[in-house]
Structure formats: structure tokens, C-alpha cells
Structure 1
Amino acid sequence: MSSPSLAIRVLAVAIAVTLLAAPAAAAISCSDVIKDIKPCINYLKSGSGAPPSDCCAGASSLASAATSTADKQAACACLKNAAKNLNVKPELAKSLPGSCGISSPIQISPSVDCSKIS
């Protein structure tokens, strides 16, 4: 049995390098993001004071689910579009993670640059 030709070996290496270097696809869907943040919508549009507990539970769930850079950027893009459509109060959206006692780089803002989230 003869060994594979040089062209086949080069092709195999090129495919392996491509697969290893490919960015991970986001595992989180926009419907998952909306499901988690849905309890916050009324608060973000017209609330005041502390966010409701179900809102914080959803925000915490989202922060836990979005672990990879791809997930965080996908969640950010989804929230960015939602913020545009829902006309949320920027100050409430910005303070939501801190008000819920969570740490998250994902912002709810129509002007956030999601490509800068890592």
C-alpha cells in the first residue's frame, strides 16, 4: 500500500488548520436571550428603583449562559436590536447588571458596539 500523495497530505493539514482556527459559533439564540430578559422589559421601559426579582433572575441566567465571546456578542446583538425596538430607558438598562448584583459585559443599548465584547 503506498503512502498518500503530498497533495493529499497538504490538503489534510490545510483542512485541520482551518477547522482549528475557525471561530466558535454562538450557541445562544436570540430567543433564549429574549426569554431571559423578558421579565425586565416593563422595568426597562418605565420602571424605577430596584428591578423585579424575576428580572434579575433572567439577567443572571443570561450572564451564566453567555460564556464564550461568540455567545456574548450574539446576546449583545439581540439586546441591541431589542433596545432599539422597545425604547428602553438608557440609565436603567446600563445599571441593570449592577442593580441585580451580577457582572456582565453585555449591555442593553441601541448604540453598543457588540464587536468589542470579549
Structure 2
Amino acid sequence: MAGSVKAVCMMVLVLMAAMASRGEAAMGCGTVVSDLTPCLPYVTNRGPLGGCCGGVKALYNAAKTTPDRQSVCNCLKTMAAAYPINLDKAAGLPGQCGVNIPYKISPSTDCSK
């Protein structure tokens, strides 16, 4: 449990630093972290899918504009670089949660497009 809290705190700090370096985005990384924290056990191979889909759907519904989606994309890439995430599980989350997105979730995704 303490490891999970430490990981979440570290993720928040990394994302805040990333935001500060890019300036204020349309949708903050704090929202991304908040919505996707329930997914961490699953995408780090430490637990089941659990309540992850609620956060995935909330994030999908909140990111309506192109700048919002670009901001979410950049935050996700920062998270993926900071943690040992199972990329196959992360890429499969939208489908598992009933969310249809028109792009592939991958560290190589160009967030500017």
C-alpha cells in the first residue's frame, strides 16, 4: 500500500513538472492522474482491472477538444515513461472499457496530430 501511494505521489510530481515545462494545457495532467489512478495496479501487472473503466470513461468524456486530447496524450506519455507500465494492457484499456478512440495508444503516438 505504501508503495502504491509513493508511486502515485511520484507520478503527480512528474506530471506537474511536465506541465510546468509546457505551460498550462487545456486539460491538466492532474485530471488525467486522478481519473487513471485506479488503472495503475492493472497496467503495472499488480492487480485486476477493478474500477479503472470509470476513470477511462470519465477522461474520455472530459477530453472533448483537440487541445484537451493532445494534453491527455502528452500526460499519458509522461506517465508511461515514468512507470513500468505494461504497454499492451494500457493500449487495450479503451476497448476493455467500451470506449472507441480513433488512434493507437503507444509511446510512439504523435500527440500533436
TM-score computed with the length of structure 2 as normaliser: 0.70
Which segments of 5 or more consecutive residues in structure 2 lack a partner in the other structure? 1-23
Match of 1:29 in 2: 28
Match of 1:45 in 2: 44
Which segments of 5 or more consecutive residues in structure 1 lack a partner in the other structure? 1-24
Q: Secondary structure at 1:113's aligned position in 2?
A: coil
Q: CA deviation at 1:28?
A: 1.2
Measure, in 2, the Cα distance between the counterparts of 1:85 and 1:108. Answer: 16
Contact kept? 1:66, 1:72, Cα under 8 Å: yes
Matching of residue 81 in structure 1 with residue 89 in structure 2: no
Q: Secondary structure at 1:46's aligned position in 2?
A: coil
Compute the RMSD of aligned alpha carbons. Answer: 2.1
Identity %: 41
Q: Number of aligned pairs?
A: 90
What pairs up with 1:13-28 in 2 under 5 angstroms?
26-28=25-27
Of 35, 53, 58, the residue aligned with 2:55 is 58
Measure, in 1, the Cα distance between the counterparts of 2:108 and 2:52. Answer: 22
TM-score computed with the length of structure 1 as normaliser: 0.68
Which has more radius of gyration? 1
